[in-house]
Amino acid sequence: MAQLRIAMAQVNPTVGDLDGNCRTIADYARRAHDAGAHLAVFPELAVTGYPVEDLALRNSFVSASVKAVAALAERLADDGLGELPVAVGYLSRRAGVGERYGQPAGAPQNAFALLYRGRVEVTSAKHHLPNYGVFDEFRHFVPGETLPVVRIHGADVAFAVCEDLWQGGGPVAAARRARAGLLVTVNASPYERDKDNVRLELCQRRAREIGAVVGYVNMSGGQDELIFDGDSLIVDAEGELFARAPKFEEDLFVTDLALPDARERAGEDPTSEDRGESVDGVRVVRHTLSAEPVAAYAPEPPVLTPRADPASDVGEVYRALVVGVRDYARKNGFGSAAVALSGGIDSAVTTTVAVDALGADRVHALLLPSKYSSEHSLTDAEDLAKRQGISARTVAIAPIVAAFEESMALDGLAAENLQARVRGTLLMGLSNQEGHLVLAPGNKSELATGYSTLYGDSVGGFAPIKDCWKSLVWELARWRNAQAERAGAPAPIPENSISKAPSAELRPGQVDTDSLPDYDLLDGLLDAYIGTDKGMRELTTAGYDPELVQRVIRMVDRAEYKRRQYPPGPKISSRNFGRDRRLPITNRWTPTA
């Protein structure tokens, strides 16, 4: 057996910050070297950040990425790290191929490079290009056609990029036929609820298929709507979980492996792939960096970070929201946030997430009571601000609303929405004056049904609970309070904000259930229609009242124009509003089945 110490760095790059990302890679490579690693691996497109979207179509950006990788290889050697092979994801282009119909001009590729002794020693590119959910890789990239198998200290290590592991055939089949002892995949796999076990099961299945150890390194941090949760892992050739990194944080994950000696495996009957022929359209390309195994050493015990109770993932959702707010603010240059604090559950959870992400001294609340606001709404908002130690200013909006009403006669819904729009104007004024990022407190149930006032409560630069059903918002509040209590700290959210009936308070005595069904019922129906595309017949067969189904579908479909104008927010579900679900605004199709 050959020993190999692998360091997997689940870093948090920023799209477009090539210099900053390369500095991070160099820093982590130094840490890997100091830990005695024989191989350091970084995530998919770590040099450019992920997803690069249409930046991939700019020749200048592709060229900058290629140059950055070459410069990084030289930098590592200059820093005394040239003997450490470093695998990084970057944006490249396929050489010698002209434009083809239906492919991006310039042939950009989602590529991988192995840096060694000051050079880009090995390159390859993603073969399977996902074109579902949040992914548009057919739009941005052309596929790679090789699987590099690199001999490192006597072990054969194959490298693939993200989707290449998820799809059968292609690189997976090539790795099996090439008899690699280790398959390393570099990934930028976004967080979704319950996804970590899906990844683990995938790696276990592939390890058994290939008969090799599988190392899975994933990105961490937030990029616009996407959250990358780390959770890098290693499974052995029998599919048993061997080591696992923490979630939602940057980490250098160092593991000692015992791999088959490549020279002994080479004595087996050769396959056609060993002669450079293709398997499922993928050609195996072999490289040797170091043929001799390292001298035997005592391995360190593997790190196996425990997972939370799989039956209760609310805490993971909360952590994802915190990461999303923190990185959106940090990466876009916002040092602070502002939120309209109403005393209700949505603004309470939004504010609490912001405080956990940015710190209490960087969150500024604006209390904006109207003539219809109940006394407990104001006191609940003040209570939350006091509990969390945030600054809070109160501006009564009744006189401002009255001034508008004197200028134009409005009644009904138009008058109710005027209150929300006055609040939005004041929030944006505060943002312009003091530079805060305004956080919109709308939840997914409101966005689905159109219960969100354009240019009012939809005002903001980021929407922390945009992808959370209303019923989940309550769960998040209870979870966060329970966490505080377990730590011996006061609950950050007043109980009254959790237990009282939700209301927009736009008219006397108003509550949400005046016009909407109970949220537990509504959210189940919405999730079935939006999350899994079930139609009228399937929903009624599932037990939902036909009239309710028809009404809810009508509300959802009519509100598409509102959702297009809503701020981005962290994606935590398998089907969010935004990157996942794209429907026309002008649309006369009415589901009947």
In which band, very low, low, confident or very high, does the pLDDT at 507 lie, cut at 50, 70 and 90?
low
Active site residues: 44, 126, 162
CA distance 405 to 370: 14
Beta bridge partners of 234: 215, 243
CA distance 232 to 251: 9
**Total Cβ atoms within 10 A of residue 282:** 27
Amino acid at 217: V
Terminal Cα-to-Cα distance of the chain (whole angstroms): 60
Q: Does residue 150 register a pLDDT over 70?
A: yes
Read off the pLDDT of each residue in 187-199 and give the average, rounded to a whole number: 88
Check if the beta carbon of residue 464 is closer than 8 Å to that of residue 305.
Answer: no
Name residues whose C-beta falls within 8 Å of residue 362's C-beta, 6 or more positions apart in sequence.
335, 336, 337
Cβ-based burial of 270 (10 A; exposed 0-12, middle 13-18, buried ≥19): exposed
Check if the beta carbon of residue 73 is closer than 8 Å to that of residue 115.
Answer: yes
Question: H/E element holding 241?
Answer: strand 241-244
Query: For residue 365, what are the CA distances in angstroms to 308, 381, 430, 463?
Result: 32, 9, 10, 15
Output the pLDDT for position 64: 96
In which band, very low, low, confident or very high, does the pLDDT at 165 lie, cut at 50, 70 and 90?
very high
- Could you tell me whether strands 282-288 and 146-152 are parallel, antiparallel, or unpaired per DSSP bridges? parallel
Which of 355, 357, 567, 574 lies closest to 463 in space, CA to CA?
567
Higher pLDDT, 445 or 96: 445
Which of 164, 137, 163 lies closest to 148 in space, CA to CA?
164
Check if the beta carbon of residue 232 is closer than 8 Å to that of residue 199.
Answer: no
Read off the pLDDT of each residue in 303-317 and give the average, rounded to a whole number: 79
Rg (CA), the chain: 27
Question: H/E element holding 7?
Answer: strand 2-10
Amino acid at 177: R
Which of 303, 320, 192 lies closest to 252 in space, CA to CA?
303
Name residues whose C-beta falls within 8 Å of residue 411's C-beta, 6 or more positions apart in sequence.
none
Output the pLDDT for position 416: 85
Read off the pLDDT of each residue in 474-488 and give the average, rounded to a whole number: 95
**Total Cβ atoms within 10 A of residue 533:** 11
Q: What is the pLDDT of residues 521-565, one digit of tens each?
A: 999 999 999 988 888 889 999 889 999 989 999 999 999 999 999
CA distance 266 to 153: 15
Q: Look over the chain and give the mean of its residue pLDDT values, rounded to a whole number.
A: 90
Higher pLDDT, 104 or 29: 29
Output the pLDDT for position 439: 97
Q: Does residue 14 register a pLDDT over 80?
A: yes
Q: Does residue 102 register a pLDDT over 70?
A: no
Q: What is the pLDDT of residues 402-455, one digit of tens each?
A: 899 889 888 888 888 898 999 999 999 999 999 999 999 999 999 999 988 889
Tokens of 205: 């299945």
Cβ-based burial of 469 (10 A; exposed 0-12, middle 13-18, buried ≥19): buried
Judged by DSSP in three states, 126 sits in: coil
Q: Does residue 513 register a pLDDT over 70?
A: no
Helix axes 314-331, 345-358, angle to 10 degrees: 60
Read off the pLDDT of each residue in 378-396 and give the average, rounded to a whole number: 93
Q: What is the pLDDT of residues 46-65, one digit of tens each?
A: 999 999 999 999 999 999 99
CA distance 307 to 309: 7
Amino acid at 363: V
Tokens of 121: 């020693």
Tokens of 375: 């006394």
Output the pLDDT for position 273: 40
Name residues whose C-beta falls within 8 Å of residue 27's C-beta, 6 or more positions apart in sequence.
none
Q: Distance from CA of residue 368 to its chain's centroid?
A: 33
Check if the beta carbon of residue 421 is closer than 8 Å to that of residue 321.
Answer: no
Higher pLDDT, 349 or 500: 349
Query: For residue 320, what are the CA distances in angstroms to 66, 221, 439?
Result: 32, 9, 16
Judged by DSSP in three states, 190 sits in: strand
3-state helix, strand, coil in the chain (%, to 5): 40, 20, 40
Tokens of 282: 């993928």
Output the pLDDT for position 118: 97
Check if the beta carbon of residue 416 is closer than 8 Å to that of residue 439.
Answer: no
**35-73: b (≥16 Cβ within 10 Å) or e:** eebbbbbbbbbbbbbbbbeebbbeeebbebbbebbbebb
